[in-house]
Amino acid sequence: MYYQKIVSFGDSFCKPLTLFKKHKIKVFPYKGASASGLSNSESTLDVGTDIRTIINRYYKIYKPLCYLFIFGNVDLHINLYYKLIHSQDLNIDDYIKNLVDKYINFIIDLKIEYSDIVITSVILPVVEENMHKSSIIFYTGNRTNEEMKQKID
């Protein structure tokens, strides 16, 4: 493994960074990964464990200048809508505060002392309101579930 200036971990929104290989940016994209799942020990993707392993095994030796974290898009573009459908009493402000707290605590727990840490902003959902229904059905895998369609209406 050779020296990387920047090491990026993120959901699929970090993939455009792979275009900058000659600039010594190493990208670890995790399709469908959420910020809230990083510290969840029951996460099916187990991305948090993978990130810890990569940092502890490889990058403590190579010490990149910066770690770039790009998570949270899945939480706001997919998971939030899903939770709104399935929970009558979801408080969006509490959901977002809890999400941010989990994300920050995960990064603090990594105990990165030798490199800068950059957390990118999350792009707010840009799906037009009239497309929410079909978007939720598509991304939650409930394309044929009539009950799901009725809850959205």
Per-residue three-class SS string for 45-98: CCHHHHHHHHHHHHHHHHCCCEEEEECCHHHHHHHHHHHHHHCCCCCHHHHHHH
CA distances from 103 to 36, 97, 107, 117 (A): 6, 10, 6, 13
pLDDT of residue 125: 62
pLDDT of residue 127: 62
pLDDT band at 17 (very low <50, low <70, confident <90, very high): confident
pLDDT tens by residue, 55-114 = 988 777 778 889 999 999 899 888 888 888 788 788 989 999 999 999 999 999 999 888
CA distance 44 to 25: 27
Global confidence as pTM: 0.77
pLDDT tens by residue, 20-63 = 777 888 899 999 999 999 999 898 999 999 999 999 887 777 78
- Of 123, 149, 147, the closest CA to residue 134 belongs to 149
pLDDT tens by residue, 56-65 = 887 777 788 8
